[in-house]
Structure 1
């Protein structure tokens, strides 16, 4: 099945009352694992490329892997840039036929964020490519709860930002963070409820790794459209490789090593999708 854009999978999510998993893939094994999980769980999925991984592997290489991977399922699969750092990086993914791109300029001032995001929207819209942006600061998970809370998304500003840019979905800061939490996260569910009610486009939550399952389930039930997960997959991948080496050392076969990593990523993806599709209708 051909890749679809974010709007198509987000519309599916709204209709069936699920949250779409936006899962980071870097290579063949991670892409295979995530697609297999989506197929087994009968759930749409967004394969995402973290901006640093685009720089490492190249948008063309990763796009080609995703294109082949999607032939192994009949589920709706989108392909997206995660936390794009510039118009130029977003353009490289648009040019390589990603079906969604995120431009993340939340650390810049509001006017610059709007101006550059509009440019990405104008570039992508004519090619049927969806655009995600961010407002508020989603911190790294080693920050204190106070530092994370300082970056909360302002609902009034978020509503204006969506109107000013024409984006397809908005990533918001509500207490989640990127990476492995130093402290137990404190999710501001009241703020999330206001954002879901006031903002016209689908709401995205980043920092899905290491967030307690019961809190993810509550966000799903409230109606978030998309949850980003990356670190949990890459940590499972690394642990599986280490376990093979600990057992077999240098005698370990490369295929055995990579197969173990792929299996570990698939197991995590299935667990995440069980939560994200729990209230499916």
Structure 2
């Protein structure tokens, strides 16, 4: 069932859990991610960054068909869109959500460019994610970590001025692989304050890989509703290949080996984020969801 990311994340925020958003480089990744979600009866968000060499129109139409045929809610999200043209191309190709990433720009310019694409996307039922603060790269974590953490009051203002459907926040994670032995440290108090002042607005965590199960489980209960994951999934697939017997005819099992490595990690994150058995059926889409209040006891 193809849905917007808004539909998935509004429910996740109301019921206090997070949804896995695995990076999908190919049709094969997407099929595996959806298969895992179906096996675990979980909603899923396919994350499509355009850093890879896609035929966006062809890939988008294919992903749309896969999502429509799925037995669980699936959103197809254009990740880290850096220009107007690529966002429109993804909307035309059938993506149900886009991310407008202008996080390195000053607040006013960031908000203005996001607001422009919100008008376009919402006109055709596509949801929009944006980022305030800036999530840097894991390789330079010691330098970047505190450079642009999200300010709670600015987050509230940004949401009100842009009309976005979910907000990616910088609370201490980073993109990519951390240096050996390094573990990110998250600002939980900042997250709690952002969730409070934005009135339980759906929040997104970028850089889920390497953050650790305990931390991810905790933020999923504190108001993060979508967690982007890429590096750990690919590392798991590579490790599965390294450990497999691919001599001779064993090489024909190449695709199955990758599926096992990548897929087992997708399922792992679905469990950690508490989105297993959270899927719903088409007839339930208009139903009112009970809101779960976040209290001090909830997050400790």
Deviations 1:195-225 (A, max 9, x none): 1111243111111111110000110111211
State the secondary structure of the residue aligned to 1:80: strand
Query: What is residue 225 of structure 2 aligned with on the other side?
Result: 225
Alignment match of 2:106 (pick from 101, 109, 124) = 109
- 1:15-34 correspondence runs (5 A): 15-34=14-33
Question: Normalising to structure 2: TM-score of the pair?
Answer: 0.86
Q: Which structure carries more helix by proportion?
A: 1
- In structure 2, which of residues 88, 97, 101 is the aligned counterpart of residue 100 of structure 1? 97
- Residue 248 of structure 1 is matched in structure 2 by 246
Equivalent positions of 1:107-186 (< 5 A) are: 107-182=104-179, 183-186=182-185
TM-score, normalised to structure 1, is: 0.91
Please list the CA deviations of residues 45-92 of structure 1 after superposition, one character each: whole Å capped at 9, or x if unmatched. Answer: 100101312xx1122233233234335531111000111111111111
Matches within 5 A, 1:192-211: 192-200=191-199, 201-211=201-211
How far apart are 1:241 and its partner, in Å?
A: 3.6
Calculate the aligned-residue CA RMSD, in Å: 2.0
State whether structure 2 residue 249 is matched by structure 1 residue 262.
no
Say if 2:70 is the partner of 1:81.
Answer: no
**For each residue in 1:22-60, what CA deviation from the matched residue of structure 2 results, as whole angstroms up to 9, or x when unmatched?**
11111122111111111111110100101312xx11222
Determine if contact 1:4/1:78 at 8 Å carries over to the other structure: yes
Q: Structure 1: any 5+ residue segments left out of the alignment?
A: none
What is the CA-CA distance between 1:172 and the residue it aligns to?
Answer: 0.5
- Residues 27 and 65 of structure 1 are in contact (CA less than 8 Å); yes or no, is this contact kept in structure 2? no
Question: Mean alpha-carbon deviation: is it higher for 218-227 or for 13-22?
Answer: 13-22
* In structure 2, C-alpha distance between the alignment counterparts of 1:108 and 1:213, rounded to whole Å: 32
Q: Is the 8 A contact 2:270 2:276 kept in 1?
A: no
Unmatched tracts of structure 2, length 5 or more = 279-300
Is the contact between residue 18 and residue 280 of structure 1 (CA under 8 Å) also seen in structure 2? no
Question: What's the counterpart of residue 51 of structure 2?
Answer: 52
- DSSP-derived class of the 2:184 partner: coil
- Residues 16 and 280, structure 1, Cα contact 8 Å, conserved in 2: no
Contact 1:99–1:130 at 8 Å: present in 2 too? yes
> Deviation at 1:251?
5.5
How far 1:250 sits from its partner (Å)?
7.1
State whether residues 81 and 90 of structure 1, in contact with CA within 8 Å, keep that contact through their aligned partners in structure 2: yes
Match for residue 10 of structure 2?
11
Q: Tell me the equivalent position of 2:213.
A: 213
State the alpha-carbon separation in 1 of the partners of residues 59 and 230 from structure 2: 16
Distance in structure 2 (CA, Å) of the matches to 1:112 and 1:242: 47
